[in-house]
Amino acid sequence: MSDTITTNEAKINSAPLELQPYQRPGGPARPVSTEPVHLERKPSWLTVKWQQGENYRDLKGLMRGAGLHTVCEEAHCPNISECWENRTATFLILGDTCTRSCGFCAIKTGRPGALDRGEPERVARAIETLQLKHAVITSVNRDELADGGAEIFAELIRKTREYVPGCGIEVLIPDFKGVWWALQIVMDARPDILNHNIESVPRLYYIVRPQAKYERSLELLKHAKEMVPDGLTKSGLMVGLGEEWEEVVQALRDLRDHDVDIITIGQYLRPSFRHLPVMRYYTPDEFKELKAIANGMGFKHVESGPLVRSSYHAHEQVKQAAG
């Protein structure tokens, strides 16, 4: 593997974007739009008020001092200032370099460094220092590891339980390449929420998640629920990548069929010109409609909005779902 993978750059920079046609049920194939939305046309409802107060600076200083990474920074999350001002952050473990090259993600891709066995201790101590009531922990993909990093997740869950009793723990995990004994390691540590995002509809996986499989992600969520039936499972969708409305609804239906409890739906925003273009912006009313549809399917909690991300308002999600 080279230090820098540029598969997506070559694929994304070849305009117009060639999307596979959508086969409408009961009708002929209909091509999706291949004209990306210009970034300067971003609608007003996606404007974010930037906050950089004392809490933001304190949290940033803590992360840098402890040598920690957050997905808030690495993935260019639009909610970082709001969340950090509320002393909420999503910790990124297993390093800052991913072995996969997803078309939407700003985290760098390449050859990861050596596994840091001291990372669970440092992250758990940071959670203790912040006295978080709900901690979200995610990671890069580490496909070169036999367990995909599952033992590091489990050790971090155990140490957080030891140092901060009563803290809710949510883990947003990779698919572990379908190695279910690795998933069992994480589930045996009993996180409060097991999150794994399907991100997009199956037709677009070849450009959105080229090294992942839609069916494998659904199976992971199903197995997680079977391993810990009283635990909460969660997944997330991005919209605006060229999917059709009916495909989004079907993806929601697939998640409920696999007993997923919590779903987040948000607008895809292009991190840079190296990443997949935005094909369209959904309106706030459309997000409300998707929320109503998902609620009607029986999800325990639905977070749907233009700026919604997987860990946005995570502490509120678990309260409602558990209640």
For the stretch 140-187, pLDDT in tens is 999 999 999 999 999 999 999 999 998 889 999 999 999 999 999 999
- Look up residue 96 and give its amino acid: D
- Rounded distance, CA 56 to CA 11, Å? 37
- Rounded distance, CA 270 to CA 283, Å? 17
The model's pLDDT over 226-235, given as tens digits with 9 standing for 90+, comes to 999 999 999 9
- Look up residue 72 and give its amino acid: C
First to last CA, the chain: 46
Residues whose CB is less than 8 angstroms from the CB of residue 25 and which lie 6 or more positions away in sequence, other chains included: 246
- Look up residue 221 and give its amino acid: L
Long-range contacts of the stretch 35-42 (C-beta < 8 A, 24+)? 35/279, 36/277, 36/278, 36/279, 37/240, 37/277, 37/278, 37/279, 37/280, 37/281, 39/270, 39/278, 42/281
Closest Cα partner for 139 from 148, 147, 130, 131? 148
Distances (CA, A) of 57 to 54, 87, 166, 298: 5, 10, 26, 40
The model's pLDDT over 248-296, given as tens digits with 9 standing for 90+, comes to 999 999 999 999 999 999 999 888 888 899 999 999 999 999 999 999 9
What is the structure's pLDDT at 2?
37
